[in-house]
Amino acid sequence: MPGARSKPAKRTKKLLSEENVLALGRKHFSEDFPNPERRGCPPIDQIRLLADNPRKAKESILNHVASCSPCYRDYSRFLQARKGKLRSKPVRHK
Amino acid sequence: MKSTRGSSRSAMFLLNSVDRLGRTINPRVLAVAYEIGPRAVAYGERLLGDAALTMNLFEESAAAVSEALRRKAKDARPVRDLSAYLYRTFLRKISLARGKQTRLETSLRNNARTQFLARQPSEAEVSLLFDEVMATYDKVTQQIVYRRLEGLSWKEIAAEFGIATHAAESRYSRALANARRLLHIRRPRT
C-alpha cells in the first residue's frame, strides 16, 4: 500500500558458538605471533615430535609454539596429518 | 512576567504565577494552590521521588485549572470546589508522570538484560582466553587444547595421552572455564 510503513527488519545478532571460538583460537595462534626471521624456533623434527608423540614432547617447545605463529602453523600441519592418519586406520572387527 | 517566588506567603512553599510552559495562573487559583500546595506537593514528591518535577507539575496543574476557569466563565458554569478540582488535576498529572517513569524503567531494564544476554566474547577476549590457558596449564592440558583446536575428537585425543575420554574433555572444559572466570568472559551460546 502506498505510504504504508514497511515492517522493520528483525535484529539478528550472530551468536558465537563453540566452533567459532575454536576457529578464533586457531586464527589467533596462527596469525597473531609473526616471526618472519624465525628467531628462537626449534628444529622442525621437535615440532613433528610434539604432534606425533605428545607425551615425549619438551615443555620449552610447547611454550615456543604458543608464541610463534610460523611454528604453530607447522605444528597444525603435523596435527592435521596425524588426524588423517588416525582416521584412515582400518577398523578392527571382532 | 513577574515571578512570585521571591515574595511568597510562606517561607517553606513558593510558587510561580506562571508555569514552565508560560501559562499564567489565575490569582484565585494561586491562592488555593498556596493552601493545598504543601501537602499536595509532599505527597507527589513521595510518589515521584523528584521535588523539582513535582513542583513543575503542580504549577502546570494550577495553570491548567486557570485555563479551565476562563473557559467555564465564558459558558457561565462555575467550579464548585476549586481546591478539589486543582488537587484532582494535580493527581492526574502525577499519575501520568508515574506511568511514564515506570515505562521508561521497564524499557531500560529490558534493554540492559537483552544486551547482557546477547553479549558474546569478542575476538580479542577469545585470544586472551587461549593465552591464559597456555600460560597457566600443564603441558598435557595445553596439548589437549591444541588438538581440540585442530578438530581432533575426544576419543582421538584421549588415546594419544592414554587417558579416558571424559578425562580429556574434563581437563579442557576446566581449563577454559577457569580462564573465563579469571578474565570475566561469558561462555558462548552453543
DSSP classification of residue B23: -
pLDDT in tens, B73-91: 887 777 788 889 999 999 9
Kindly state the average pLDDT of the residues A62-66. Answer: 90
| Nearest residue of chain B to residue A29 (CA atoms) | B127
Per the model's pLDDT, the better-predicted residue between B80 and A81 turns out to be A81
| 3-state SS, residue B18 | strand
B168 vs B179: CA distance, rounded Å: 17
End-to-end CA, chain B: 66
Which helix (H) or strand (E) segment is A21 a member of? helix A18-31
Q: Tell me, what's the pLDDT at A1? A: 47
B23 vs B156: CA distance, rounded Å: 81
Amino acid present at B62? A
Residue with cell 610434539: A50
In this complex, do A62 and B160 lie within 8 Å of one another by their Cβ atoms?
Answer: no
Nearest CA distance, B160 vs chain A (angstrom): 7
ipTM of the complex: 0.78
Whether pLDDT at A13 is above 50: no
Q: Tell me, what's the pLDDT at A4? A: 58
Q: Residue ranges of the domains in chain A?
A: 45-86
Q: Is B80 in the A-facing interface, judged by CB distances under 8 Å?
A: no
Partner residue opposite B126 with nearest CB, options A21, A65, A76 = A21
* CB B29 within 8 Å of CB B66: yes
Whether pLDDT at A93 is above 60: no
pLDDT in tens, B5-35: 544 454 567 888 888 888 999 999 999 999 9
Listed residue (B82, B84, B89) closest to B64, CA to CA: B89
In this complex, do B118 and A13 lie within 8 Å of one another by their Cβ atoms?
Answer: yes
End-to-end CA, chain A: 71
* CB B132 within 8 Å of CB B183: yes
What torsion do the CA atoms of B150, B154, B160, B164 make, to the nearest 10 degrees?
A: 160
Interface of B with A in 141-180 (CB under 8 A): 142-143, 145-152, 156, 159-162
Partner residue opposite B156 with nearest CB, options A17, A29, A86 = A86
Listed residue (A53, A43, A32) closest to A74, CA to CA: A43
pTM confidence score: 0.52
Q: Is B124 in the A-facing interface, judged by CB distances under 8 Å?
A: no
In the structure grid, which three cell numbers stand for residue B82, read together?
Answer: 476549586
> Exposed, middle or buried by CB within 10 Å (0-12, 13-18, 19+), for B83?
middle
Listed residue (B177, B149, B139, B171) closest to B158, CA to CA: B171
